[in-house]
C-alpha cells in the first residue's frame, strides 16, 4: 500500500471509533479534517495534546473542521480516555495498523535502550475535497496547536 502525499487525495479508509461507530473518511467530504496520531492513551504528552485540541474545539468548528485522534489502543480504552478527558471528538482504534501504514507514522523507536515499533506523533490536515494539505511529523506538543490552527484558518 502506498502512503499519503501532500497535495494528493487521501484514500478512503475505515477504523473502529468511539461512540459505537465506524469512522469512514469519505463521510467527512465537505469538511476540513484534522487527524492526529499519538502513541498511547493516558500518557502525559498524549493527554496534553488531546486537551489542547479539546480546549480549542470551538475555533476548529468555526472553520468547518472536525478532529479525530488515532492510536493503536482499543476502542474500549479509547472510550475511557475520551470520557475521562471530556474530549468532544472521536478517537479511532488502529490495532491493525492500517492507517498507521497509510500515513507512515509507525517507526522504530528507542526507550531506555529498548527498540520497538511505535507511533511517531503526527498530525495531518485534509481539506474539504479530501486532499492532504499539511502534515506535521515528530510533533512537539507545546507549540503544535497554534501551527495547526493557523493552517486551518489559511484554507
pLDDT in tens, 28-68: 999 999 999 999 999 999 999 999 999 999 999 999 999 99
pLDDT of residue 112: 85
Q: pTM for this one?
A: 0.94
Instruction: Give yes or no: 100 in active site.
Output: no
In the chain, % of residues over pLDDT 70:
99
pLDDT of residue 146: 93
Domain covering 14-154: architecture: 3-Layer(aba) Sandwich (3.40)
pLDDT of residue 1: 54
Q: Cell for 54? A: 479539546
Q: What residue segments make up the domains of the chain, in order of their start?
A: 14-154
- Residue of 10, 25, 34, 46 marked active site: 46
Report residues of the chain scoring pLDDT below 50. Answer: none
Amino acid at each position: 500500500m502506498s502512503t499519503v502525499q501532500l497535495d494528493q487525495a487521501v484514500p478512503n479508509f475505515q477504523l473502529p471509533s468511539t461512540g459505537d461507530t465506524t469512522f469512514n473518511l469519505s463521510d467527512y467530504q465537505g469538511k476540513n479534517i484534522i487527524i492526529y496520531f499519538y502513541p498511547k492513551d493516558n500518557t502525559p504528552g498524549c493527554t496534553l495534546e488531546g486537551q489542547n485540541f479539546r480546549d480549542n474545539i470551538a475555533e476548529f468548528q468555526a472553520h468547518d473542521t472536525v478532529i479525530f485522534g488515532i492510536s493503536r489502543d482499543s476502542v474500549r480504552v479509547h472510550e475511557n480516555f475520551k470520557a475521562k478527558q471530556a474530549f468532544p471528538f472521536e478517537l479511532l482504534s488502529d490495532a491493525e495498523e492500517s492507517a498507521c501504514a497509510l500515513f507512515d507514522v509507525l517507526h522504530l523507536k528507542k526507550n531506555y535502550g529498548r527498540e520497538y515499533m511505535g507511533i511517531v506523533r503526527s498530525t495531518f490536515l485534509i481539506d474539504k475535497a479530501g486532499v492532504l494539505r499539511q502534515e506535521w511529523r515528530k510533533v512537539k506538543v507545546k507549540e503544535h496547536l497554534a501551527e495547526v490552527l493557523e493552517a486551518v484558518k489559511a484554507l
